[in-house]
Structure 1
Amino acid sequence: MRGPSERNVMATSAATPVVFIHGLWLHATSWNPWVELFREHGYQPIAPGWPGDGATVEESRANPEAIANHGIDDVVEHYTKIIANLDTRPILVGHSFGGMIAQKLLGQDLAAAAVAIDAAQIKGVLPLPISALRATLPVFKNPGNVHHAVSLTAQQFRFAFGNAISEQESDELFTRWTIPAPGKPLFEAAAANFNPHSPAAVDTANEVRGPLLLMMGGKDHTVPESVTKATLKQYRHSAAVTEIMDFPDRAHSLTIDSGWRTVADATLSWLDKNVSRAL
């Protein structure tokens, strides 16, 4: 059976392509409501998984070894190949580590625009809030996890993702969407500012790239506002459009919880204003 990374890239059309990129611990199908909404708005959306992801949540949980040991460069290469199969440069919408990947691809001029939602820390960003350390402790507590895939418990998911919603909703999202995540990208991001060739580096000085929107949740434990604001400062040497949008009462689950439509509608509105549909 094809994984989501293969079966979602078979068809393209004249409509503007949109590639949704998930982050750690969420399956690609968690983007399904967004995919349907963007298709209704005339886009050609796909949501490929990361390398090693199974076609379903259940398959991914059953085979964590396939997910393990994939780093940032592996994921970037994976999506670069997917983009190469499209008829034109896509819009990228990424969440968490998917937001970092979207920024890297945009900086390489492989995308027409990008929306990075609660994006993981890129090289050059210095704030490392205590809540972010706690959210990623399930990985960092064992250095050997750099080569393994790590799952969250429902309680860990609630702190890292679902702290701004009810416990019942958080548990439902955990059961529906979570999968093991490779530890390697987190270790790479943590060491980024000590590695001159870090895979977490983004070409933030690119003057000719497409527009970028950084979204942040005011109650996010995993990627607090201070991280997103520091990311914005990394783009100060580029004249390309770079904007920031705040959802003060939202946390890391903002793309999948009951308020997802507000974030999705804001994304569509920003794209309508900043990206030509004739790419």
Structure 2
Amino acid sequence: MSDTAPVVFIHGLWIHSSAWAPWQELFESKGYTISAPGWPGDGATVAETRENPDALNGVGIEAICHHYADLFEREGIEPIVVGHSFGGLIAQELLANGFATAAVAIDPAPIKGVKILPFAQLRSGLPVLGNPANKGRTVSLNAAQFRYAFGNAISEEESNELFEKWTIPGPGRPLFEDATANFKRDSPARVDTHAAGRGPLLLTSGTLDHTVPRSVTVAVDKLYADNTASVTDYHEYEGKGHSLTIDSGWTEVADDVLAWLAAQGYAPTPADAAGAADTAEASS
């Protein structure tokens, strides 16, 4: 078994944790121990989550963070966390508070301190933010809303396929908490960007992302700029939108993340990778 920290994948709003399956298979083939637990209230499958959306009512950023922190403590692990969208915000909080050894935040929801609000981001959030009553309930996207927020950089056909395969209802509360973060002193979207000695962090952006536009992630990166005690890197993916972790170009992002982890000293040994491959072959 590898001595390298396990990798935990954290999904964002509207995408089920099972969408990480290709990433899990790839990372496992490289020798990593992997898992992708869902948010509190998620069903075990896409279908189960769709059938019981009320289980996610009122679930906010703090509850999601505690959910993962408690899981890590029960399992006795300090993992590498890889999060997408709101999962990227959660990953940063877990890293800053000492629950993770390294973090990758892929097109992450903005943390407190980001003051720009591009039109594309506002429009992407309107299905939730357009109705204040959504703060306490769960909201689903339709195919057109998903196309604008996630699938704008891919074909309509692929966007519709991803919508049908992976989308789930999402709690409205995290979006409201994020939208009002700069007006609340103790916002749950606050991340200590000055945490000295924390593990390395990679922030990424797809240049065509509507939900979290490039300028937003650049602004997040700048909030970390004066923390010279810890590694913070920023990578950009040309021509990619918010679906970059689940669409047909996902391997470009995943390979980049693997290379970054290796550069930070988190790559499993060749023996670990060989052992993982033997295990996968035996179970197939």
Q: Tell me if TM exceeds 0.5.
A: yes
Cα displacement (A) at 1:15: 4.9
Aligned counterpart for 2:43 among listed residues 54, 58, 69:
54
Deviation at 1:237, TM superposition (A): 2.4
Name the residue aligned to 2:240.
250
1:123 corresponds to 2:112? yes
Q: How does 1:156-195 map to 2 (within 5 A)?
A: 156-195=145-184
CA shift at 1:14, angstroms?
A: 4.5
Matches within 5 A, 1:192-207: 192-207=181-196
Distance (Å, rounded) in 1 between the aligned partners of 2:240 and 2:208: 5
The letter for the 2-side match of 1:259 is G
- Is contact 2:2–2:31 with CA below 8 Å preserved after alignment? no
- Aligned counterpart in structure 2 of residue 44 of structure 1, from 25, 33, 39: 33
For the residue of structure 2 that corresponds to 1:269, the secondary structure is: helix
**What residue is the counterpart of 2:97 in the other structure?**
108
**What SS does structure 2 have at the residue aligned with 1:126?**
coil
Does the CA-based 8 Å contact 1:205-1:235 persist in structure 2?
A: yes
Unpaired segments ≥5 residues, structure 2: 269-284
The Cα of 1:259 is off from its aligned counterpart by 0.3
The root-mean-square deviation of aligned C-alpha atoms, in Å, is 1.2
Give the aligned residue type for 1:125.
V
Identity of aligned residues (%): 56
Equivalent of 1:272 in 262, 270, 273 = 262
Aligned to 1:241: 231
Matched residue count: 267
Confirm whether residue 220 of structure 1 aligns to residue 215 of structure 2. Answer: no
Q: Which runs of 5+ in 1 are unaligned?
A: 1-11
In structure 2, distance between residues paired with 1:218 and 1:139: 24
Q: Is the 8 A contact 1:76 1:101 kept in 2?
A: yes
Distance 2:4 2:96 in 1: 23
Corresponding position of 1:34: 23
**Alpha-carbon distance in structure 2 between the residues aligned to 1:78 and 1:14:** 25
Q: Find out whether 1:84 has 2:73 as its counterpart.
A: yes
Conserved in 1, the CA contact under 8 Å of 2:2 and 2:32?
no
Aligned twin of 1:262 = 252
Q: Which amino acid is 2:192 matched to?
A: D
* TM-score computed with the length of structure 1 as normaliser: 0.93
Distance 1:273 1:190, change over 3 A: same
8 Å Cα contact 1:16/1:277 also seen in 2: no
Could you list the per-position Cα deviations for residues 26-84 of structure 1 after superposition, in whole angstroms to 9, with x for gaps in the alignment? Answer: 00000000011111011111000000000000000000100111000000000001111
State the distance in 2 between where 1:217 and 1:260 align.
11
- Of structures 1 and 2, the one scoring higher in RCO (CA 8 A, sep 6+) is 2
Asked whether the 8 Å contact 1:132–1:223 carries over to 2, the reply is yes
Match of 2:53 in 1: 64
**2:261 is paired with a residue of what secondary structure?**
helix
Encode CA deviations 1:150-179: one digit per residue, 9 max, x unaligned. 000000000000000000000000000000
The 1-side partners of 2:51 and 2:189 are apart by 29
Cα distance in 2 between the residues matched to 1:223 and 1:275: 29
Report the AA paired with residue 249 of structure 2.
Answer: G
Q: CA deviation at 1:148?
A: 0.5
Distance 1:244 1:256, change over 3 A: same
Counterpart in the other structure of 1:4: none
